[in-house]
């Protein structure tokens, strides 16, 4: 309890004393998608590179959780997860896009764009493809590389980069980005050398790179022995960190790298733990902060699209619910420690939330019943007690 109070005091002081810095503009932004990443996975990455740390709320607007998480990033709003959202194809892989949409294909296509769009049956505006279309409207290009293919086609990089017509002007999300490996989930692993070359050589303004292997491992995690899963996860995380370090060494100063986990993974998702790390490499060093949450260290998936657009000098559409992320300057080590402590506190609150709510509801029901009984009795002592119970009831209703 004492530790939690100290954390609240520190975060409050940070919010009051340190105004977040606005985002500078960059010529290029690389968004690295690391499905199910943890803070531990990222904490040792490129320690000498400027970096800003935060936790991202990955909740979607309903439907299929994983699909909704990725569509929320693409939309700048909490999207409904619709089947087929991850089915993005190279132009030469697909024969159905024009049939389904009546439009000419681009380098990458998302044939299910109409069911995805029409499936956003929520009370607020959700526009799948809003990020890609906003880039197009400002003369900027998006690209998507990498594949999370399992026994099915799963191409999250294309999902994030697509426009409202389900098109991406540049990329490769096909099995060309994979290597055969019988010791890995689904018999394949990411060809990191090829992925690195594709990303570094791309002329696009936004490049979305899907690591792929973390998603495939997460897909079979429930079927694996826990020790074997941890061994595989360590290998996958080490390879991902190596890719990030090589990428950060290969890029120029006018390029920013965003690494985030759009979904926390099956285990955390099943437990309702929807927070995952988000780190900006190459810009200001400090703590991420969002006008959406107004809490230092916590941003949302709805903020990613407006942030990308702002960093590239474009304006976010008014219908995007999220807002551009800022950075509160502080040493990287201090920011990491605050985010780790914040994550621990949030998880502890989540674990105890059910017990606290059930206890509070039980108390309120008891107060209601006793108050009703005292009102029925209508004797002097009972009426005096009823006034006391009214005060107790008012206090119970005031509890958060």
What residues pair up with 257 in beta bridges, in sequence order?
A: 30, 281
Instruction: Look up the pTM and report it.
Output: 0.85
Neighbouring C-beta atoms of residue 379, cutoff 10 Å: 9
**165-220 tens-digit pLDDT:** 999 999 999 999 999 999 999 999 999 999 999 999 999 999 999 999 999 999 99
- Cα–chain center distance at 336: 18
State mean pLDDT over 122-142. Answer: 98
pLDDT interval class at 1 (50, 70, 90):
very low
CB 69 within 8 A of CB 94: no
**301-315 tens-digit pLDDT:** 999 999 999 999 999
Copy the structure tokens of residue 24.
Answer: 């500078």
Q: What's the pLDDT score for residue 5?
A: 45
**327-361 tens-digit pLDDT:** 999 999 999 999 999 998 887 775 655 555 566 66
Q: Which residue has the higher pLDDT, 373 or 281?
A: 281
**SS3 letters across 129-149:** CHHHHHHHHCCCCEEEECCCC
CB 262 within 8 A of CB 69: yes
Dihedral Cα 326, 332, 333, 337, nearest 10 deg: 20
Would the pLDDT of 240 be above 50? yes
**7-62 tens-digit pLDDT:** 444 444 444 445 566 678 999 999 999 999 999 999 988 888 999 999 999 999 99
């Amino acid at each position: 309890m004492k530790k939690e109070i100290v954390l609240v005091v520190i975060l409050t002081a940070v919010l009051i004393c340190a105004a977040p810095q606005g985002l500078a503009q960059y010529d290029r932004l690389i968004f690295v998608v690391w499905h199910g990443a943890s803070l531990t996975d990222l904490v040792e990455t490129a320690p000498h590179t400027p970096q800003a740390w935060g936790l991202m709320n990955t909740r979607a607007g309903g439907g299929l959780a994983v699909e909704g998480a990725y569509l929320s990033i693409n939309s700048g709003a909490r999207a409904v997860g619709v089947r087929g959202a991850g089915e993005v194809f190279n132009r030469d892989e697909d024969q159905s896009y024009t049939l389904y949409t009546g439009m000419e294909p681009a380098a990458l296509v998302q044939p299910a764009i109409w069911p995805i769009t029409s499936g956003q049956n929520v009370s607020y505006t959700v526009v799948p493809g809003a990020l890609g279309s906003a880039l197009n409207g400002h003369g900027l290009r998006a690209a998507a590389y990498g594949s999370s293919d399992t026994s099915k086609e799963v191409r999250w990089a294309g999902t994030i980069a697509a426009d409202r017509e389900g098109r991406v002007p540049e990329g490769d999300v096909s099995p060309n980005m994979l290597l055969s490996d019988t010791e890995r989930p689904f018999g394949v692993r990411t060809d990191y050398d090829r992925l690195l070359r594709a990303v570094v050589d791309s002329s696009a303004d936004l490049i979305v790179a899907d690591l792929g292997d973390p998603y495939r491992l997460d897909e079979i995690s429930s079927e694996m022995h826990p020790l074997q899963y941890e061994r595989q996860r360590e290998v996958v995380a080490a390879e991902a960190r190596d890719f990030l370090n090589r990428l950060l060494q290969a890029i120029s100063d006018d390029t920013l790298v965003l690494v985030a986990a759009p979904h926390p993974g099956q285990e955390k998702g099943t437990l309702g733990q929807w927070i995952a790390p988000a780190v900006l490499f190459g810009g200001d060093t400090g703590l991420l902060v969002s006008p959406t949450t107004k809490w230092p260290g916590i941003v949302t998936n709805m903020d990613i699209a407006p942030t990308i657009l702002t960093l590239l000098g474009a304006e976010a559409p008014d219908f995007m619910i999220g807002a551009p992320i800022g950075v509160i300057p502080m040493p990287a080590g201090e920011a990491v420690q605050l985010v780790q402590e914040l994550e621990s506190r949030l998880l502890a609150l989540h674990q105890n939330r059910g017990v606290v709510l059930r206890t509070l509801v039980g108390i309120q029901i008891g107060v209601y019943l006793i108050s009703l009984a005292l009102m029925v009795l209508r004797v002097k002592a009972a009426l005096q007690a009823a006034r006391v119970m009214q005060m107790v009831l008012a206090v119970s209703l005031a509890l958060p």
